[in-house]
Homo-oligomer: A and B are copies of this chain.
Amino acid sequence: MKGVSQDILEELGVQILLGNTYHLYLRPGVEQVRQLGGLHRFMAWPRAILTDSGGFQVFSLNELRQVTEEGVRFRSHLDGSSHFFTPESAMAAQIGLGADIIMAFDECTEHPAERERMRESMELTLRWAERSKKYFEAHKNEAPWSTDHVGPDAPVRTGERELAGAVERGIAERRSAGEVRAPAPTWSGAAQALFGIVQGGMDHALRRESAERTIKIGFSGYAIGGLSVGEPRALTREVVEATLEHLPKDKPRYLMGVGTPEEIVEYAGLGVDMMDCVLPTRAARHGLLFTSEGRVSIKQARYAGDQGPLDANCGCRVCQRYSRAYLRHLYAANEVLAQVLNTVHNLSFYLDTMRSVRHSIALGNKVQLFPGEQSQAKP
């Protein structure tokens, strides 16, 4: 998490981090991380980690990639060197990194796309999902923390397998709210959890087909991929709804690449369990801060003399200590500390949002925005 140390993340109540397989594959390298005991031990993070398959990152390298049935050839953004990801190599990489949740290798369909292209891309993702599952089943015991193949001094996992706990709590909450009637999942904690990814572009029928055939392959959880790729937000919501209804309620449902605080609340209300997004951290680095009274662009001169806290309703260490004037100065002076403090606050705001969502679910209430956020949503 750029600029924020792990102990601060723990203090904020972060339960799970997302690691980028593409970046870690390039630097420091999967084998290096594996030999160091896996990502948990390497980065000293005992709580849950999810790694993406690298597919989306590679998809973002527009000019530098070439997709075939076998996999994706791409060039490193660091040095231009050529690499090839396949479902098998993406699984091997994620097993080597040793995250708690790993993702099947998929092709993220571009938007806009013709229906035929959407179908072809969906079919390719389904074939890759099969191959991902097959490789995973054959090698799932090779995660660095579950074997001794790194020698007699093999490092062991620090901490508990909190992932299972965190996600299961969410499901238990929905169960207690009467939404889930299937039996609790029985993750043993002995292996990683492999999630499948539903594609199908913006076509509802293809999304349904993708969901059903992905479920048939069988995964520990299901992600909705291929959204937040430039389409209008109303369309995103339509596709999410059309996909969610075909996903099992007793498995984690993960919406990839979303979103704003409002979107998180909205999609949690629809039944999404997990989301990921660069927004809180990237926006923080650009001085855009989320508060209970709306967005604050801290770079603005109007804050130069503002002695109030960034968000009077926030209990984070930034809001408890610093004024808007100081945060504005740090940003204007291009201080690294601006990035650090802004990120801590935005993470705190997002985590507060999720705590509020979970609280609403536990109470059986409708999931909705904070009172402060509601006022912001008014015209």
Question: Knowing A28-B329, A323-B42 touch, does A2 contact B336 (C-beta < 8 A)?
Answer: yes
Q: State which of A4-12, A57-65, A123-131, A254-262 sits at the interface with chain B.
A: A4-12
In A136-183, the 8 Å CB interface with B consists of 155
Question: How distant is the Cα of A156 from the Cα of B185 in the complex, in angstroms?
Answer: 57
Tell me whether A325 and B7 are in contact (CB under 8 A).
no
Question: Knowing A321-B6, A322-B44 touch, does A32 contact B305 (C-beta < 8 A)?
Answer: yes
Collect the chain B residues with CB atoms within 8 Å of residue A323's CB. 36, 42, 44
Tell me whether A332 and B28 are in contact (CB under 8 A).
yes
Tell me whether A339 and B336 are in contact (CB under 8 A).
yes
- What 0/1 readout, one digit per residue, does chain A (3-25) give for beta carbons within 8 Å of chain B? 11111000000000000000100
Q: Is the CB of A184 closer than 8 A to any CB of chain B? A: no
* Residues of chain A at interface, number, CB under 8 A: 36
Tell me whether A3 and B42 are in contact (CB under 8 A).
no
A321 interface neighbour in B7, B27, B35, B336, Cβ under 8 Å: B7
CB closest chain-B residue, reference A307: B36
A158 to chain B, nearest CB (A): 10
Question: How distant is the Cα of A304 from the Cα of B29 in the complex, in angstroms?
Answer: 11
Tell me whether A340 and B5 are in contact (CB under 8 A).
yes
Question: How distant is the Cα of A155 from the Cα of B323 in the complex, in angstroms?
Answer: 12
Tell me whether B36 and A325 are in contact (CB under 8 A).
yes
A221 to chain B, nearest CB (A): 28
Tell me whether B5 and A337 are in contact (CB under 8 A).
yes
Collect the chain B residues with CB atoms within 8 Å of residue A1's CB. 337
Question: How distant is the Cα of A329 from the Cα of B42 in the complex, in angstroms?
Answer: 10
Q: Is the CB of A238 closer than 8 A to any CB of chain B? A: no
Tell me whether A307 and B27 are in contact (CB under 8 A).
no
CB closest chain-B residue, reference A333: B27
Collect the chain B residues with CB atoms within 8 Å of residue A340's CB. 3, 5, 336, 340
Q: Is the CB of A341 closer than 8 A to any CB of chain B? A: yes
Tell me whether A305 and B35 are in contact (CB under 8 A).
yes
CB closest chain-B residue, reference A344: B5
CB closest chain-B residue, reference A330: B43
Question: How distant is the Cα of A367 from the Cα of B4 in the complex, in angstroms?
Answer: 37
Residues of A within 8 A of B (CB): 1-7, 23, 27-28, 32, 35-37, 42-44, 155, 304-305, 307, 317, 321-323, 325-326, 329, 332-333, 335-337, 339-341
The 23 listed contacts between A and B (C-beta, < 8 Å) are A1-B337, A3-B3, A3-B336, A3-B337, A4-B337, A5-B317, A5-B341, A23-B333, A27-B329, A27-B333, A28-B304, A28-B332, A32-B304, A32-B305, A36-B305, A36-B307, A42-B323, A42-B326, A42-B329, A43-B326, A44-B323, A336-B336, A340-B340
Q: What 7 A-B pairs are tightest by C-beta distance, nearest first?
A: A3-B336, A28-B329, A44-B321, A44-B322, A27-B333, A36-B325, A3-B337
